[in-house]
Structure 1
């Protein structure tokens, strides 16, 4: 299981950064993490975005089971994420002069951030009788609504999803760049109605995908691509794979 998580780091870094408009492809990202020279120019920022997020992912894969999620841990992850990118903001909440726009609204005042985050975490830990997907979806939407940092909120928020999943004995998930439109729709739904259904669906499918992948490898099953699986029509199979109603998983964009 640890080996599978290690091989997923490049994909997690690529997808999370791509959601935030990074121009690096999956191949570019893997080369950066392997310290292989690219045959094209990339900015210093994108270079550090890939390396730093990989450091965050590796850290939480190893440390999540050892420490409860706290505001101090969140700041540490943010410090890792923005090191050498925005050192003046790295590991720091927004201060009194730092306001940010989230979608079509202004995020809460900087002075309210710590109290709001304390409440979000307290509510999360107080509802451990509810389904993990519902709890993760709500916390993620609340965190992004608060937008506690000047930069890096989305990537840290998605990292926190996995910190909490791993901490509760589940496997990490990978929210894909190809699902970005649906992913952003969830924030509009939450801001307008307070509902979390779309985010629950995205996280639930991502979690099922992670388990299908791990069970396939651990049980030594034969792995075939969708185009080579001829028992039902290809379009029908693609729909089943997207809905995770069949034993399918995506790996490196396939």
Structure 2
């Protein structure tokens, strides 16, 4: 059995603390989830080479003038993905993920962008390539998607991170759509996490290189260790953020934390990236919660 990354071993305890702290704070959780929509949209679109900055993405979603000309396509890429994310936040616990749900999410994503291909898998003769990888034969897509789900639901006793990593890598290997595979694949991760009782994550643009390395690892060896590490660190990040708010901590940036506790800022940043301290990203900035007993 593959070795479980150390950071993933902490998730059970973080999850326990989360459920202990969340009672009667549903409105706070909803605010956090809504505040994260722009971050998820920005990062997922940036991985796909969108030119929008986080600030521009945030303004578009708030219906504020972004300050420069934004193409109609990039505007709808932001607005549509936000709609998909909000749909998942609202409905993932109500509906099991199926091929039909994936098609529905894809239709929402590409509406007013590429209406001729939205909401359907590739047809016979429609081939796609990403880098050096050619997507699966269109005539084999539905069978492969069904097999992907069969494996996921048949391995419910395995580590959730490993199961989701395998499904995500398999989905991207199949590459069932002409366009939108990456963005749909990443929202599927959150659909499954929320449905399984975990919190949603953001795979950041800064992790793009490692993210692509994970696909190469999977295609060359069938291994999922790099994707497990990416999802595991993103999940601990998400729990650290929610716990800082739910447990009423004082939230400061890492530079302020460094000053207060006389710890090297670069050392803290390094540990934050490894998620060996309870730091979290918020609007692209590293922050950390200080429990009451440690506050000065």
TM-score (norm 2): 0.85
CA distance in 2, matches of 1:118, 1:67: 17
Deviation of 1:108 after TM superposition, in Å, equals 1.1
Question: Alignment partner for residue 105 of structure 1, among 124, 133, 145?
Answer: 133
Q: Residue in 1 aligned with 2:111?
A: 83
Query: Structure 2 regions of 5+ residues with no counterpart?
Result: 1-28, 286-296
Displacement, 1:103? 2.6
Q: How many residues align?
A: 254
Q: Deviations over 1:41-72 (max 9, x none)?
A: 11100000000000000000000000100000
1:201-240 mapped onto 2 (5 Å cutoff): 201-230=229-258, 231=261, 232-240=263-271
Structure scoring higher RCO (CA < 8 A, sep ≥ 6) equals 2
CA distance in 2, matches of 1:70, 1:134: 19
1:15 to 43, 64, 71: 43
> Following the alignment from structure 1 to structure 2, what is the Cα–Cα distance between the partners of residues 222 and 105?
47
- Preserved CA contact (<8 Å) 1:98 1:110: yes
2:283 maps to: 252
Q: CA deviation at 1:38?
A: 1.9
Aligned partners of 1:105 and 1:115: how far apart in 2? 19
Consecutive unaligned residues of structure 1, counting only runs of 5 or more, are none
Q: Does 1:241 align with 2:269?
A: no
Residue 163 (structure 2) pairs with residue 132 (structure 1):
no
In the TM superposition, 1:15-164 aligns within 5 A as 15-164=43-192
